[in-house]
Amino acid sequence: MAATYAETALRNGYEFTQGTGYVLPEYPFVEPPEVRSGEVARHPIVIVGGGLAGLTMACALARYGVRAVLLDEDNTVGVKGASSRGICYTQRSLEIFHRLGVYERIAAKGIQWSVGRTFAGKDEVYSFDLRQQSGYNLSSQPPFINIQQFYIEGFLVERIGELGHVDIRWSNRVTAFEQDDEGATLSVSTPAGDYRIRADHVIDATGSHSPFRKWVGASVTAKKGDDRWCIADVRFTKRPPTERHTWIEAPFNDNRAVWQHLMGDDVWRIDYQMPPDADPDQVSREDVVRERLARQFGADTEVEIVWVGPYAYKSECVDRMRHGRLFFMGDAAKVVSPFGARGGNTGIADADNLAWKLAAVIKGRASAALLDSYHEERHEAAKQNVLVTNRTARFLRPAAGIEKTFRDAALSLARQHVFARQLVNTGRMAIANPYSQSSACERTGGLPVQNVSFGWPDGSPGTMNQLLQWADGNLLVLLFGDASPGSLERLQALAETAPVRCVQVLGADERPGALEHVRDPQGHLQGGCHVFGHAWALIRPDSYVAATGESIDASLVHAVGRSLGTQLQGEQE
């Protein structure tokens, strides 16, 4: 006999919480039509899990006009009683949210920052300002915004409601999954009764305790450490700087690491590294937390504790992110230590990658073979993020012997010499991962394009995201500089036979031809596309370069076909 929804609903993994906590919105349960009718309805896409990755996926599909159903076992965003969770959102994620139409809400609520300072003891050994770095300063979005994760999830729910196309079903828990050559079937339990639903494609965004891993027999490469931490989300009467501060050996925390970040609502997130044998109950007691805060900020500092919770890090990655009709996404696909903000941000990128491909396949613009590239690209990114965060974890809690010797030497040198500061590893900040192993990208592709600016023909400013919106889910060909009439005719012919939009990108004095055109007098758009001189760049809807080249010939046609998982007429010319 199947268990009821109330009997099977999962408890969150944060069992030791103190303080007033956060007030989360609650969404009403609506009885699914399948419960009333008893029928097994079929949908193109079913997303399971209404967290950051699942809601980003749903919002992206809604933006492309693709219908989907999202099932979430809870009735709210975030995790009840469980904290702000992820807080640091990278420029790449902010660019994605800009395309989805939620960036302005995030920017209004969150805290922008670009300066980070790292201390060893009382000495500052490393600092940076991301706004001064070439990898960040050309985008229309800032390097980082800090905001509690549940706010972003709530904004995504609002935006999905505005866009339509996606049916969000709260308090719908998936209890079984099976698939065959014709589709996938999910068994769902709700407060009103159970039902079954069929889907062409299923997205697993249920998090690190995903039941789908067992249901499809997914193998996982995992590593569990003994590093222990305790979060304190607090408000102060004395306001610390709006900067990312990191202590590798904090004198006020028994020479263990500490992180300090400002979030929305004037709340600071303080992460304290604990002894490996720390008792979660003891370290999260309010009196113990207050004593810890007093050692850092002074006994006279008034503190309001919003939330407290201990946690331990682990890293794991499924060996394949696609199993038939099922796609793993976010923490269901991989779990990384949160150093450098490589957790939730990678789930956002997973959704951005898969959404345009599913939309292209469902709309008949691409072959189903394109979907294989999701695993190729995002698994490469996942493995890289696991590797990078594991190195940080080892630097922050080195093993006795050579690791400890290296860490001590790096800190000693960094106190005196600039060259050694790059050895100090408190978290390599998350980036848009390149795709070097993708069947959907040429050798010259696989690199991200920032949301850089240019000029529309009427002189008004534009951004890369606006070009992608104009392309409406199609591939985008940008032709830089003057071109022969024959080249322009070939581009026009390509646009008539393939899902491609073409734009000529001109300098200040170059004359436009027959194509749509924009102005790029400062070369930001060309530099963002990683090309120089007279060239073309093929840009995907997720703002990645699929290919670049110099001549408008069969190589471009081949690149378009490869990006769509198919072969186009004219590739052999």
Task: Read off the pLDDT of residues 545-569 as tens digits, 9 standing for 90 and up.
Answer: 999 999 888 999 999 999 999 876 5
Entry pTM: 0.93
The arithmetic mean of pLDDT across residues 208-223, rounded, is 93
Compute the Cα dihedral for 429, 434, 436, 438 and give only its sign.
positive
What pLDDT shows up at residue 8? 30
pLDDT at 156: 97
Whether the predicted pLDDT of 81 surpasses 80 = no
pLDDT confidence bin for 80, thresholds 50/70/90 = low
Nearest to 540 by CA among 53, 144, 99, 56: 99
Name the most confidently modeled range: 182-186, 306-310, 515-519: 182-186
CA quadruple 238, 244, 250, 254: dihedral, nearest 10? 80
Single-letter residue type at 136: Y
- Which of 166, 14, 84 lies closest to 344, judged by CA? 84
Q: Is the pLDDT of residue 11 over 70?
A: no
Range among 46-55, 132-141, 267-276, 292-301 rated most confident: 46-55
Q: Cβ of 496: how many Cβ atoms within 10 Å?
A: 8
Answer for the pair 35, 193: CB distance below 8 angstroms, yes or no.
yes
Structure tokens at 392: 């940080």
Candidate from 99-103, 420-424, 463-467, 535-539 with smallest mean pLDDT: 420-424
Q: Provide mean pLDDT across the span 369-388.
A: 94
Q: What are the angstrom distances between the C-alpha of 416 and each of 412, 420, 422?
A: 7, 8, 13
pLDDT of the residue at 78: 82
Tokens at 14, concatenated:
């944060």
- Mean pLDDT, residues 5-12 taken together: 31
Question: Can you tell me the mean pLDDT for 408-431?
Answer: 84
pLDDT at 18 over 50: no
| Helix residue ranges per DSSP H, 425-537 | 464-471, 485-497, 524-528
pLDDT of residue 2: 36
Residues 221-245 as b or e (16 or more Cβ within 10 Å = b): eeeeeebbbbbbbbebeeeeeebbb
The average pLDDT across 221-227 equals: 79
- If pLDDT is split at 50, 70 and 90, which confidence band does 19 have? very low
Residue 486 is predicted with a pLDDT of: 84
The stretch 322-338 carries a mean pLDDT of: 93
Task: Enumerate domains of the chain plus CATH numbers.
Answer: 23-110+142-219+315-392 (3.50.50.60), 453-563 (3.40.30.10)
131-147: average pLDDT: 84
Share of the chain above pLDDT 70, in %: 94
| Model pLDDT, residue 573 | 44
Q: Which amino acid belongs to residue 117?
A: R
Bridge partners (DSSP) listed for residue 115: 129
Q: What does pLDDT average to over the chain?
A: 89
Q: Tell me which of 20-34, 39-53, 145-159 is least confident.
A: 20-34
For 23, left (φ over 0), alpha (ψ -120 to 50), or beta? beta
Contact indicator for 99, 31 with CB cutoff of 8 Å: no
> Where is mean pLDDT largest: 184-193, 246-255, 506-515?
184-193
Give whole-number Cα distances, 322 to 214, 217, 379, 454, in Å. 14, 12, 10, 38
Residue 10: pLDDT above 50? Answer: no
pLDDT band with cut points at 50, 70 and 90 for residue 56: very high
Convert the pLDDT of each residue in 470-525 to its tens digit.
Answer: 999 999 999 998 778 888 888 888 999 999 999 999 987 788 777 889 999 999 99
Output the pLDDT for position 570.
54
What is the reported pLDDT for 147?
A: 92
Least confident segment among 148-162, 323-337, 383-397: 383-397
Q: Span 348-376, mean pLDDT? A: 97
The DSSP call for residue 18 is B
Give the pLDDT mean for 374-402.
Answer: 89
Residues paired with 516 in a beta bridge: 503
pLDDT tens for each residue of 154-170:
999 999 999 999 999 99
What is the average per-residue pLDDT within 233-255? 88
Rounded Cα gap, residues 553 and 573, in angstroms: 8
Q: Does residue 352 surpass a pLDDT of 90?
A: yes
Distance CA 522, CA 204 (A): 43
- Indicate if the pLDDT at residue 391 is higher than 70: yes
